[in-house]
Amino acid sequence: MTHDMPTPGAGLIGKRVNVLDKGWIELQDLMGNDLAIVNAARTSFLGESKGTDKDKKLLFYLMEHRHTSPFEQVEFKFRVRAPVVTWWQWVRHRTWNFNAQSGRYVAFEEDDFYVPAVWRKQSPSNKQASLGQLSESEGQLLFDALGEHYARGYALYKQALEAGVARELARVFLPGFAVYYTWVAKVDAHNLMHFLHLRMAQEAQYEIRVYAEVIYEHFFKPALPWTAEAFERFVLGDVR
């Protein structure tokens, strides 16, 4: 049985998917496809494609036995808008290359703050996780308070700017973890899979998990269908 060789992410560049209340992910560039991974592996002994069946079998062998360097030959470059509460965790993955919007050069807008859909409760058994959520009436009180907090912080930020304070200093009035920033983020497929394995897990914080899931479903799988199939079989397991 033969398989159709995947095309290199046809139609994906420029695609944007909304995330959270005001965030999004856009694929800016893509280098390589499943065949690039296979050809990189065969470079070790100056080989070439041997047809779709054998090529796919080799890619699955690479994934199963953790021969990771060929997967580094594919690269994704994203433009991402996310709140600091998301970026705070994302930048821990130091295999990514980042370039961020600067509050020193660009003034923030009044609605550049993250508003969660629900208020999650602290898990009693896991210091790093949440479990359950507040009732609608309890939550509404906090949503009202959050709106007032954002409005007050932004008003002080604008007051400082109008008084002539530098943008780099005036931003101290903004609610730190809630501000949305836009970043360019680049990563190879091997390190992206490591990121996805950790951040799509159910115990990962929701605000980064939703970004990881969008990357996987809307960009990674369409760009690298063979790799995604092997990734799900040999790496993800019960993570999802």
Report the catalytic residues.
199
For 123, residues 6+ apart whose C-beta sits below 8 A from its C-beta are 129, 130, 131
Give the span between the Cα atoms of 216 and 209, in whole angstroms. Answer: 11
Give me the DSSP letters along 26-57: EEEEEE--HHHHHHHHHGGGT-----HHHHHH
**β partners of residue 178:** none
Q: Which residue bears the tokens 């049985």?
A: 1
Give me the DSSP letters along 95-142: TSEEEE--TTTSPPPTT-B---SS-EEEPSS-TT-EEEE--HHHHHHH
